[in-house]
Structure 1
Amino acid sequence: MSYYSDTPSVDDELESLGWYHFDLSRHAAEALLLSNGKDGSYLLRNSHEGPGSFALSVRAKDSVKHFHVTRKSSGYAFGFNEFASLQDFVSHFANQPLLGSETGTLIVLKCPYPWRVEEPSIYESVRVHTAMQTGRTESDLVANAPSFGTKEGYLVKLGAVVKNWKQRWFTLNRNELKYFKDKMFDEPIRTLDLTACSAVQFDYSKDRVNCFCLVFPERTFYLCAKSGVEADEWIKIIRWKLSQIRKGR
């Protein structure tokens, strides 16, 4: 069975494909989709089987399935089907499940996972840190590696009314910065929506080291990290998220 349409050349389409993750490893793909994706999120990456071979990684509830895709002169082959373009491929399987998993789950392509989503420096630190922890090569991330676009840790925060400093547990996920009384608490004290944040920067106005501030219309939040490196990591990832928010407006 073949599906054809008027499309650009195969090479042009692949280069412009927003969800083609090049040499992303199988484990890194699983880490991305399980941490940041949702049921039906998918991405395309190179396969270790050589040129013209790709793997389509799809999240199906709490697991990630990998499918082999081969580039042909006329398009792309998947199983017994051949498609003139990757867009034809996705359009077809967005309405027809790829297959049923062992648990009976039907896998449908719903949401492409774009490769321009994480700050390279954050990706590198996670990649190297994971390799050091596991003894694997740097290019081989384990499936439970932390999400590249998230961060968590203890920071010391200046109170709004009573001007004292208290340690709080912070989590950054997507565009939400939450802080909790401590790490074991499930409910946050407050959730800060970064879409309303105008700036993040180091702050030297307080009598403390490793401080930075987040500027919101109603209040400026002052936070201190345990080291200058840690403060710089928070600033970089929040600043990157703010740039992505502005691009989307």
Structure 2
Amino acid sequence: MSVSSTRSSEDIDELEAVSWYHYDLSRHAAEALLLSNGVDGNFLLRNSNKGVDCFALSVRAKDSVKHFHVRRQFGRYSFGFNEFPSLQDFCSHLANQPLLGSETGNLIVLRFPYPRQVEEPSIYETVCVHTAMQTGRHENDLVPNAPALGTKEGYLVKQGAFVKNWKQRWFTLNRYELKYFKDKMFVEPIRTLDLTECSAVQFDYSQERVNCFCLVFPERTFYLCAKSGAEADEWIKILRWKLSQVKKGR
């Protein structure tokens, strides 16, 4: 039984009036959504698995997502050191772009509520988020060098290294490895690119083809084309996020 199903209809109606309340969206799904389609300062409210009167405020802070506990008790909402007499007062407080302090000591500004009634990008449907854990289920038990990592796969057209022709290849992205295969049915990749050695991912307008982007490595720049500008943008977003994690030493 989901947490939301145990709430009264009055409570559910009150929460549904909050356009950025995302019901039972999981922690990892919230991370995938905000990282793939959000901007710095986007935030949303979701149910927490800690109990019927527990919520989580998920906030995108640059290239990561922070989560904050929100509790409701006797109709009042507690958030950090603050307590609000109603959900409306709590929402009004967040609308004033408050500053939040994270565990790292950085200040996070709540700028833009992320509404649930939006057309989700295809990357949200295809990104799979995994978290390696040691023992227990507490977030402090997460393995430090194995954070939530997105995966993606699909066909791209790649330019050859020596003969500058273009061929369709099947690409898979997992952790910091971008592999490409002759086709989807093949088991062995033609090549595996180590993203820890990649210095940049960006749109490329030097080719005669459209929807192109490139990955810059020390020994070579790889030119790839997607079937649409939106698809190219999806690849660039998740690849750049990977590079940002590399820079953080993860």
Please classify the TM superposition score into its range, dividing by the shorter chain length. 0.3 to 0.5
TM-score (norm 2): 0.47
TM-score (norm 1): 0.47
Answer 1 or 2: higher relative contact order, Cα 8 Å, separation at least 6.
1
